[in-house]
Chains A and B, each alone.
Chain A
Amino acid sequence: MTRHSDPTQVQLTADGRLKHFLTTEGLSKDLLTEILDLADSFISTQERAVKKVPLLRGKTVVNLFFENSTRTRSTFELAAKRLSADILNLDIARSATSKGETLMDTLWNLEAMYSDMFVVRHADSGAAHFIAEQVTPGVAIINAGDGRHAHPTQAMLDMLTIRRHKGTLEGQTVAIVGDILHSRVARSQIHALHTLGAKEIRVIGPATLVPKEMEELGAKIYFDMEQGLAGVDVVIMLRLQKERMSDALLPSEGEYFKLYGLTEAKLALAKPDAIVMHPGPINRGVEIDSAVADGDQSVILNQVSYGIAVRMAVMAMAMSGQAAEQAAQKNESQETTGDDA
């Protein structure tokens, strides 16, 4: 997909507010912190009798999933509903595009239905960015995962999880374990961890699944899990896609578990109060042992709850940025046309 501009700039208004959410790369510490602070307050509104707030009342959000992901789609759907928006779920993987309609034709049709926000999941890296460049001003785009590039809401919910369980991101040593090569989450996490002041980021996995470029992003590479886990505060396990076995990148599930599966014995090498995270759905006995997944140090289910709050926060902020930009442009055009009205 052709990129015409810097994704960091496309997602910000002239005065630096979020208007799309495409990537964590290049966003300032203040802005990432604003997302986390707002998400914190949405955690508290969800604990009430009425879980909804009327912030996006009357707005229409379209879940545009070119790639299936029931869990991510459901949390975006709940987030939109708890902001009082109307939501339409489109499973494009099985509809229009398979009939030959182009990406932009699909989008323009949906725009004609007065949609205000698209949540986009696509197998191609850069898809959400491409759409953000083409879409009518006033419509917000949220990236729900594009190819191997980014999955920024997942990364931000992981940041929120660390902040809520460790108090701060600053000074933390974080290990990301598993299939780094195919992981859009790992890239988004590394950018966010850096910006938010993590002390050390380690990536752990087999040489076939850990690309050398991770060093350029500022992460330390470990092929030995025992060494990599020593003294860490946070362990983030990645899901092992079963199709990687058929790609001959891995010997077998059993072999993988022996080397890179998180067991109680391996976790004991991390700090005693280390937390264990996983974006889900987990493969028990492949990348993580049941005893660890269900253990005291696991915060895997907390991540799910925080995921809704983080998605509410970025949806509210992007819609807010769009609203402010539209209002500013309206004022400007009124000024240039004079005060006849």
Chain B
Amino acid sequence: MTSSATALPDAEALCQQLSSDIKQLIAEKELKQPLLIGIRTGGAWLAQRLQQSLELPELGILDISFYRDDFDERGLATQAKGSELPDSIEDRAIILVDDVLMSGRTIRAAMNEIFDYGRPTSIHLVSLLDIGQRQLPIQADLVGASITINPEQKIKLSGPNPLQLSIG
């Protein structure tokens, strides 16, 4: 199978759809003081767009470089920029946003880091794409689309404006 054989959905359309899904999630679960937190870099772009369309007052950005579990294999990412979270996340309902959900290791690292900032009431996970290949027991509450790709292929989100998915 060549890479062009996998049709990728339109990221902008998925983003719009996720926005209304999140609105519904907040209403259904009666989430108080919801806080969107995007994981650098793709998740942060997405979270920024969702924050605007949902008209939420704040946004958190998470850089999980210091929490990765592959330090001994890869060392530190050279572009570690640090996280930017509101002063307190105590008792907030966190909606964690990432671009592509795969092994689940990024999400584990992100949750560990969040708990070093404080104790949120809850965390829900939102991902633009779910490409399977899970290595940890982690599932998203909301996904834009689920697709299957070859394990050696990689999906990349470019942005922030417009958001676009590519495969390589």
Cα–Cα distance between A172 and B92 once the two chains are bound (Å): 44
Q: How many residues of A contact B (CB 8 A)?
A: 25
Is there a chain B Cβ closer than 8 Å to A320's Cβ?
yes
Decide if A52 touches B116 in the complex (CB within 8 Å): yes
Stretch at the interface among A20-28, A38-46, A101-109, A204-212: A38-46
A3 proximal to B (CB < 8 A): no
Distance (Å) between the CB of B76 and the closest chain A CB? 4
Q: Is the CB of A50 within 8 A of B116?
A: yes
Taking the closest CB of chain A, its distance from the CB of B114, in whole angstroms, is 11
Q: How far is the CA of A55 from the CA of B73 in the complex (A)?
A: 13
Nearest-neighbour CB distance to chain B for A320, whole angstroms, equals: 3
On B, residues with C-beta under 8 Å from A are 63, 66-67, 71-76, 78, 80-84, 112, 115-118
Which residues on the A side are within 8 Å of B117 (C-beta)? 48-50
Q: Is A80 an interface residue (CB 8 A)?
A: no
Evaluate whether A41 and B81 lie within 8 angstroms (CB atoms) in the complex, with A48-B117, A49-B117, A54-B67 already known: yes
Select one of B78, B82, B83 contacting A40, CB under 8 A.
B82
Q: Which residue of B lies closest to A325 (CB)?
A: B75
Is A235 among interface residues, defined by CB-CB distance under 8 A? no
With A320-B76, A327-B72 already in contact, 7 other A-B pairs whose C-beta atoms are closer than 8 Å: A34-B78, A38-B76, A40-B82, A44-B82, A53-B116, A327-B73, A327-B74
Which A residues contact B (CB, under 8 angstroms)? 17, 34, 37-38, 40-42, 44-45, 48-50, 52-55, 316-317, 319-321, 323-324, 326-327
7 A-B contacts (beta carbon < 8 Å): A34-B78, A40-B82, A44-B82, A45-B66, A50-B115, A54-B66, A55-B67
CB-defined contacts of A17 to chain B, threshold 8 Å? 75
CB distance from A283 to the nearest CB of B (A): 36
A323 engages B67 (CB within 8 Å): no
Give the docked Cα–Cα distance between A17 and B76 (Å).
Answer: 11
| Contact for B76 among A45, A49, A316, A326, CB less than 8 A | A316
Contact B66 A55 (CB under 8 A): yes
Q: Are A55 and B82 in contact (CB under 8 A)?
A: no
User: Contacts A41-B63, A53-B67, A54-B112; is A324 near B83 (CB within 8 Å)?
Assistant: no
CA distance A63 to B81 in the complex (A): 28
Q: Enumerate the 6 nearest inter-chain pairs by beta-carbon distance, A residue then B residue, closest first.
A: A41-B82, A320-B75, A53-B66, A320-B76, A50-B116, A324-B75
Separation of A45 and B66 alpha carbons in the complex (Å) = 10
- Inside 8 A of A42's CB, which chain B residues have their CB? 82
Instruction: Assess the B72–A48 pair: CB atoms within 8 A.
Output: no
A34 to B73, CA, bound (A): 20
Closest residue of chain A to B67, judged by CB?
Answer: A54
Asked if residues A38 and B116 are in contact (CB atoms below 8 Å), the reply is no
CA distance in complex: A54, B78 (Å):
17
Task: Report yes or no: B71 in contact with A320, Cβ–Cβ below 8 A.
Answer: yes
Q: Give every chain A residue within 8 A of B115 (Cβ-Cβ).
A: 50
Q: A167–B124 Cα gap in the complex (Å)?
A: 38
**Complex CA–CA separation, A320 to B82 (angstroms):** 17
The chain B residue with its CB closest to the CB of A17 is: B75
Contacts of A327 in B (CB 8 A): 72-75
Chain A residues within an 8 Å CB radius of B80: 37-38, 41
CB A201 to nearest CB in B, in angstroms, measures: 29
Q: Nearest-CB distance from A204 to chain B (Å)?
A: 37
In the complex, the answer to whether A317 meets B67 with C-beta atoms within 8 Å is: no
**B66 proximity list for chain A (CB < 8 A):** 45, 53-55, 316
In the bound complex, how far is the Cα of B71 from the Cα of A327, in angstroms? 10
Rounded to whole angstroms, the CA-CA distance of A70 and B103 in the bound complex is 45
